[in-house]
Structure 1
Amino acid sequence: MTIQVLRALTTLTTVVAVDTDVGKLETAKHMGADEALLSGDEAIMRIKDLTGQQGAELVVDMVGIDPTLRMAAQVGRVLGHLTIVGLGGGALPVNFASPPHECSVASPCHPNLLQTPPRIPPRFLPPSSLPGQPRNRPGSRSSASPRIGPSTLLSVYRNAGRPATPSPRVT
């Protein structure tokens, strides 16, 4: 799916898939990858050749184990971007030469977020769910966790945890 998303975003770039499984590489080619390379030193050299020795502008590691992260750091470029999606438990080697200078690194999925429900700031919770407030009022729901509607969650998401500000109305 990653290859399909990259293809949908741009057709002006070269998409390179790297894997240890030949069958997965064939699937990657079928899905739109321009190059499908067996993981290893030859893949690193080929990526460097394809990019004029500069390295890849975007590297997406879908596995997240030590060997894939090491390769990701080797094929990235100065001012490039490395996104770690895989939750394999590996460590990205960081030193003066790796990843390349000013290469940004992001891990959009933190393992703790998969185990712990997100914390909703108190300002978005109904008053009855706050400490010191009565929970069992006549006609109200009684539950251990407050019920928060989709519109509130969407507002929290869109505003990155800040309170929603009403948009000005022009009359």
Structure 2
Amino acid sequence: MNHKLLDTKDYIVFFIYFIIVSAYGLYVYNRKKTANAGSKDYFLAEGSLTWWAIGASLIASNISAEQMIGMSGSGFKLGLAISAYEWMSAATLIVVGVFFMPVYLKNKIFTMPQFLSERYNKKVAMIMAVFWLMLYIVVNLMSILYLGALAISGISGIRVTFCILA
């Protein structure tokens, strides 16, 4: 079987992309750096990000190894219909942004545990936070690490174990 591995040009493109993303992050950090900024300001980027940076962040946080490999496999098996999942998520984000976000922002609600704490009580918020954290670590993160390592190993020739640890 003929395997095509990454070429020097591929590594150069990856490195340039990494530098651009890091430089933009440092630029925003240095531009908005204040001595009294707290965790809330850090979490919300002090409200300083542009709409396209927030949109890119939403898209990037939705794309992972499970998406790249899982959706590709499902697309191969089921056809283009699998893309309806992503189109519906885009429509849902628009509805949430137009109708729900103004209400949340007006009430200064920024996270799901904060919403549950306001709506019910702190105990419900803690149960939800611990449940989702454990689910994410045990199920989601492990599959993402393995699938990502498998993909990187396949295109670079690096051992899967090293890719997981790196």
Q: Do Structure 1 and Structure 2 share a fold, with TM-score over 0.5?
A: no
More helix by share: 2
More strand by share: 1
Q: What range describes the TM-score normalised by the shorter chain of this pair? A: under 0.3
TM-score (norm 2): 0.21
TM-score (norm 1): 0.20
Larger RCO (alpha carbons 8 Å, 6+ apart)? 2
